[in-house]
Structure 1
Amino acid sequence: MIILGINYIYHDSTACVVKDGKLIASLEEERLNREKHTYAFPKQAIARCLEIAGLTAEEIDHIAISFRPDLERPRKIAYALKLGWKTRAFSSKELGFALFATRAFRLWFDATFTKDRKPEVHFVPHHLSHAAGSFFVSPYESAALLSLDGWGEWATTFKGVGRGTTVECFAQDLFPYSLGAVYEVPTDFCGFRTSYDEGKTMGLAPLGNPDTFSGIVEKIFWVNEDMSIGVDLSYFDFQHYGPRCSKKFYETFGQARQKTRDARFEQHHLDVAAAFQKQLEECVLKIARQLRERTQEDYLVISGGVTLNSVANGRLVRESGFEDLYVMPAAGDNGTAIGAAYYLYNSILGQPRTYVHDDPYVGTGYGNGTIQKLLEECKLEHRYLPDGQLEAVTARLLQSGQIVGWFQGRMEIGPRALGNRSILANPTLPDMKDKINAEVKHREAFRPFAPSCPVEDTPQYFEQHVADPFMLKVCRVRPEKQAVIPAVTHVDGTARLQTVHRETNPRFHRLLKEFEKLTGVPVLLNTSFNVMGEPIVESPQDAIRCFFSTGLDYLVLGNYVVGKQPGMLPDVPGVRAFATSRSPPISLDREAAGDPVPLPVAGDQPCLLRDRETVGRS
């Protein structure tokens, strides 16, 4: 059974292919069209996923779309009438978006499939795709479920429980009672882009004093005893599809920061970010505790754009009462393509659960043959290093303070670089954070960077008792280690940790252990391989372009090392650089040169529960 999952109604358009219950491939459209958080229909992502899977469109049996158009229209019309808007005007202005989006799918569908062979199309509600879909690929047989975002169709939350292949919804909040929509307001106030830069607001918050405005913010949005969200709408205008902040908001908190890169942050901007971040954490934590009390479940599955707030997730791990939580690597709207596919497979079609989504490397892979051909076409000096030697040489570069673009294996799904499309650096150097922000990423100086650490070494450096392979749970760096890894320790002593597992990423794990041999520290600074405003690089061409337009020192593509100037390749005894007209003295891998290569999907891996137990025993 072949299922094509699609998200395209909202931002982060994505496609995936599920074959007989196993996720074969998933890819965001932005990685191919190079438009960050794109709304475009994911035609390229669909084609690439089918290519990776070795399938044609005619072999698709079902299509699952993470949106229900019939839920959108009546609720929006009712809301328009409530606000006193003319239904006709509202219908043409706002409902036109949903109609246009469904038309984009229809045009692709009619052009792709013949009359004789058309797959069955299923429209899955947005929050079922988030919550239920995430549960069905989690390692838990039963769990409490929580989805939080701006809105999808008309709902803004999903609160319920999943057991086996059944899901029960306790309650949902409806727009404008939305934690996601509320959090966009301080994002806008601080001069960032909404539905785009909320992570910057989270990163800015530790620089402010939450107590300055916490008394006011606690009365602006809250959680009631029945788990419903309360919002004082007098502070906002987003409910009218206008500016985020009302006049009352500015009268209360002051003037907004200008939306220019060099605009100054005043203290009240920092304090607003801190207060809204603190209250968001309290609201999410209260809902989780209420779910724990009602369901008596040991585990929590969370999803939706709000759950990309890794600081709040860290507090859930420590304070909610759940033993652990599962967050899909693509927890935002991009993950609803996967969620819709699995809701269809497990719930609608009634198939048993057989897959755990603990391996995020489900995109395109490029073999050494493809990489060598491209390097020769670009006339770049390069050196081929065999496995083992490659990691040892790269570790030596990192130890010496070089910043390395690291391009390996299959593309990660989700917003975090997890060791296959990463920029890596030495976290023990105090000035490394500022250097990468200024010279490589070209972004705001306050933005922090994340550490990657082998899961078995995590307890030595971080106060974390659970695994975090997707870099979505902020934890505290142990006090005695904060000065050891200053480049990845935030101002409040925390870090957004990635635990690296030998089973899912053996090469990245080897690199960390080689770095430990040289420095005594099994931790690397890991940030996404891109510059601010661009998607993470997807292809070797993207990587080379980013390499030569930033302050990166070296580029490691597969088994090849590339420098920027002739003669700057690292000295390796017994191995020499070779010109583009020569062939490497070491044989290449078996993959053909004309790919992208559809790499085989890894076999069953240890689930997160076992990883969590491993950390706990260490």
Structure 2
Amino acid sequence: MSTRIIGVHSGHDASACLLVDNVVVGAIARERLTRRKHDQGDPVECVNYLLAHFGFAPADIDLLVCSDWHDAIGLREDRYSQFARVEKTRRHHLLHAYAASVMAPAGPALVLVADGGGRRPPPPRGGGGAAARGCRPEDNGVAGMAPGWFEVESVYRHEGGRLTLLEKAYRPYYSKRYAWGSHIDSLGYAYAAVSKKIFGSSHAAGKVMALAALAPRAHDIPAPLRFGSDRAFGVNPDWLAYLEACPDHIDWDTPLAADLADAIQRGLEAYLAFRTRQLAQSHQCPDLLLGGGVALNCRNNGLLANAAWLGSVDIFPAAGDDGLSVGAAVMALRETFGDYRPIVYRVSQGASYAAPMKQDPQAAQALARLLADGHAVGVFQGGSEFGPRALGYRSILSSAADPVFKTRLNARIKRRESFRPFGGIVLRANLDQITHDALAGPNMLSAARMTDPARARYPALAHVDGSVRLQVVEEDGCLLHRVLAAYEGLTGRVALINTSFNDRDEPIVETLAEARACAAATGLAYLYADGAVEAVHA
């Protein structure tokens, strides 16, 4: 008899996951169904979606686990009354760690979780317990501070499906203290403060990371972070004061905006280089898994993947809070049902929408020909990806052979800021034609330095700092493999642009109807839809 678990996360980037034994059968973020980016609240739509598309009833589910975050919106137990067994957990960082463990190597690995903030510390057990964990109850009620500290960094050891907590840090929460809002002394909150100043949203960290490469370094900005050998970490008050003195909104195309982005990016990189070296040495374990929102910083991930003190580095595709539903389900499988087998996870996690059709054996060749002729093509096949990256199931593909392709994609199709780079796809056998760097996994969560010949041959892929985010495709007969092989045969080039299939400020498309509507709205002339290439009519 199989074990069936549903994991639910109801904070921002709400989601649900279905786990059958040790296989992640499906996972979906609420935003894909409601069409509101980073949507929060009880993801009842996601639970119903998983049950309907994968053929289960509530009575078939052994356990539903809710990630009840401290400020979860709309969490109501009555919405899950049809399930026989429902449990709640607030172990935010532990769930991130369990999600990260999906990518675990065969041997032991450290799991580093870092984000804006997770759960509050548990009540102290005996004298001095709270202070030993970095939480001082006497700080509650200090002027400018709301009661409570939050976990901001956690370190675990993973081996054989089991997680052991090694270290944890808590930091204070300051309610509405600054012009941009509340603050926690954490990597995530510091980065989000810059994101809010420049782009008006805490969800624009990826833009900040890309903007950092344009910095002229014309401003004397204090170091954002403070850290040292005693493992103390904090956000520099001088940097906070500098940021507070800046205008409430800073246009992204100004030197100040780029310099602020550069300062926080370099600060994050310096701290995590220091911290991971410290952890690898003190725990004698070089392999690393990253979790939490900070793990989506591709530039930092690329640096860590090539750090001499680390071995392998990998990241779960949904490393942010959308992945907490997977973490909740995996935690239940391990801790409640005692199943420690490796988790089976595939890139395509959503439902298939298209009616069965005869596959066109020439579709990959036709798609490659369109790309060689300079067309951008939407790709819709199978179930959607889980996480922020489109990995060939809900993608827009384009040639990278001319800078004009990047300009066209940003201005006319994606309708976004001109400085933003695009990810690329390449077959593993051809990876060394693009970069000699190691990557933090194959799923476009790692920036790599392009070789000089690659920058010249694929100028639309290269960011201004010469880096590229890459998805590495295995030679397994999948659509992307066949398209890349056909494209190489036609052009002699081995890499393509791969960007998410969505319009400006919209989530990635989920259904075929949404894909067709998005293609028409953004000016795509062609769409690959589950087996065949079709023309798009505006």
Fold agreement, TM-score > 0.5? yes
Quote how far apart the aligned CAs of 1:404 are. 0.6
Quote how far apart the aligned CAs of 1:206 are. 0.2
1:397 and 2:370 are equivalent in the alignment: yes
Q: C-alpha distance in 1, partners of 2:226/2:341?
A: 36
Q: C-alpha distance in 2, partners of 1:307/1:264?
A: 24
1:224 and 2:224 are equivalent in the alignment: no
Aligned to 1:173: 169
Aligned to 2:360: 386
For residue 365 of structure 1, the aligned residue among 333, 349, 352 is: 352
Q: Deviations over 1:207-256 (max 9, x none)?
A: 00357446x12xx31333243422234654xxxxxxxxx5x4243xx435
For residue 292 of structure 2, the aligned residue among 277, 301, 304 is: 304
Quote how far apart the aligned CAs of 1:134 are. 1.8
Q: C-alpha distance in 2, partners of 1:144/1:212?
A: 37
For residue 193 of structure 1, the aligned residue among 187, 201, 207 is: 201
Of residues 395-404 and 203-212 in structure 1, the stretch that sits farther from structure 2 once superposed is 203-212
For residue 423 of structure 1, the aligned residue among 391, 396, 403 is: 396
1:314 and 2:316 are equivalent in the alignment: no
Q: Structure 1 residues 454, 264: CA separation in 2 closer, same or farther (over 3 Å shift)?
A: closer
Q: Structure 2, unaligned stretches of length 5 or more?
A: 120-149, 172-183
Q: C-alpha distance in 2, partners of 1:211/1:458?
A: 36
Q: C-alpha distance in 2, partners of 1:324/1:403?
A: 34
Quote how far apart the aligned CAs of 1:516 are. 0.6
Q: C-alpha distance in 1, partners of 2:90/2:258?
A: 39
Quote how far apart the aligned CAs of 1:330 are. 0.5
Question: Aligned AA for 1:169?
Answer: L
1:550 and 2:522 are equivalent in the alignment: yes
Q: Structure 1 residues 210, 173: CA separation in 2 closer, same or farther (over 3 Å shift)?
A: farther
Quote how far apart the aligned CAs of 1:54 are. 1.7
Question: Aligned AA for 1:255?
Answer: P
Aligned to 1:75: none
Aligned to 1:534: 506
1:150 and 2:111 are equivalent in the alignment: no
Q: C-alpha distance in 1, partners of 2:305/2:230?
A: 22
On the 8 A contact 2:302/2:440 being kept in 1, the answer is: no
Question: Aligned AA for 1:121?
Answer: E
Quote how far apart the aligned CAs of 1:385 are. 6.2
Helix, strand or coil: the match of 1:433? helix
Q: Deviations over 1:343-376 (max 9, x none)?
A: 221234321223243x22111123443xx7xxxx
For residue 105 of structure 1, the aligned residue among 76, 80, 85 is: 76
What are the within-5 Å matches in structure 2 for residues 213-252 of structure 1? Answer: 213=220, 216-217=222-223, 220-233=224-237, 235-236=239-240, 248-251=242-245
Q: C-alpha distance in 1, partners of 2:467/2:424?
A: 10
Question: Aligned AA for 1:177?
Answer: D
Aligned to 2:384: 411
Quote how far apart the aligned CAs of 1:20 are. 1.2
| Structure with greater proportional helix content | 1
Q: Structure 1, unaligned stretches of length 5 or more?
A: 73-96, 237-245, 373-383, 567-618
1:56 and 2:57 are equivalent in the alignment: yes
Q: C-alpha distance in 2, partners of 1:300/1:536?
A: 29
On the 8 A contact 2:516/2:536 being kept in 1, the answer is: no
Question: Aligned AA for 2:496?
Answer: L
On the 8 A contact 1:452/1:500 being kept in 2, the answer is: yes
Aligned to 1:269: 257
Helix, strand or coil: the match of 1:462? coil
On the 8 A contact 1:329/1:470 being kept in 2, the answer is: yes
Q: Structure 1 residues 336, 211: CA separation in 2 closer, same or farther (over 3 Å shift)?
A: farther
Quote how far apart the aligned CAs of 1:157 are. 1.3
Helix, strand or coil: the match of 1:162? strand
Quote how far apart the aligned CAs of 1:62 are. 1.1
1:493 and 2:481 are equivalent in the alignment: no
Helix, strand or coil: the match of 2:76? helix
Helix, strand or coil: the match of 2:424? strand
Quote how far apart the aligned CAs of 1:168 are. 2.2
Of residues 505-514 and 459-468 in structure 1, the stretch that sits farther from structure 2 once superposed is 459-468
1:129 and 2:73 are equivalent in the alignment: no
Of residues 299-308 and 46-55 in structure 1, the stretch that sits farther from structure 2 once superposed is 46-55
Helix, strand or coil: the match of 1:552? coil
Q: Deviations over 1:486-514 (max 9, x none)?
A: 111101110011101234x7111111111
Q: C-alpha distance in 1, partners of 2:260/2:193?
A: 10
On the 8 A contact 2:425/2:473 being kept in 1, the answer is: yes
Q: C-alpha distance in 2, partners of 1:564/1:52?
A: 27
Q: C-alpha distance in 2, partners of 1:137/1:334?
A: 16
Helix, strand or coil: the match of 2:5? strand
Aligned to 1:332: 320
Q: C-alpha distance in 2, partners of 1:356/1:298?
A: 24
Q: Deviations over 1:169-209 (max 9, x none)?
A: 22222232210001111112223411x11100001000003
On the 8 A contact 1:3/1:62 being kept in 2, the answer is: yes
Q: Name the count of aligned residue pairs.
A: 494
Q: Deviations over 1:426-450 (max 9, x none)?
A: 0102211111111101101111101
Q: C-alpha distance in 2, partners of 1:360/1:313?
A: 20
TM-score, normalised on structure 2? 0.87
Question: Aligned AA for 1:286?
Answer: F
For residue 470 of structure 1, the aligned residue among 425, 439, 443 is: 443
1:38 and 2:25 are equivalent in the alignment: no
Question: Aligned AA for 2:247?
Answer: Q
On the 8 A contact 1:424/1:526 being kept in 2, the answer is: yes
On the 8 A contact 2:68/2:88 being kept in 1, the answer is: no
Helix, strand or coil: the match of 1:543? helix
Helix, strand or coil: the match of 1:472? strand
Helix, strand or coil: the match of 1:121? strand
Helix, strand or coil: the match of 1:4? strand
Q: Structure 1 residues 138, 256: CA separation in 2 closer, same or farther (over 3 Å shift)?
A: same
Quote how far apart the aligned CAs of 1:558 are. 1.1
Q: C-alpha distance in 1, partners of 2:296/2:258?
A: 20
Aligned to 1:606: none
Q: Structure 1 residues 211, 355: CA separation in 2 closer, same or farther (over 3 Å shift)?
A: farther
TM-score, normalised on structure 1? 0.76
Helix, strand or coil: the match of 2:403? coil
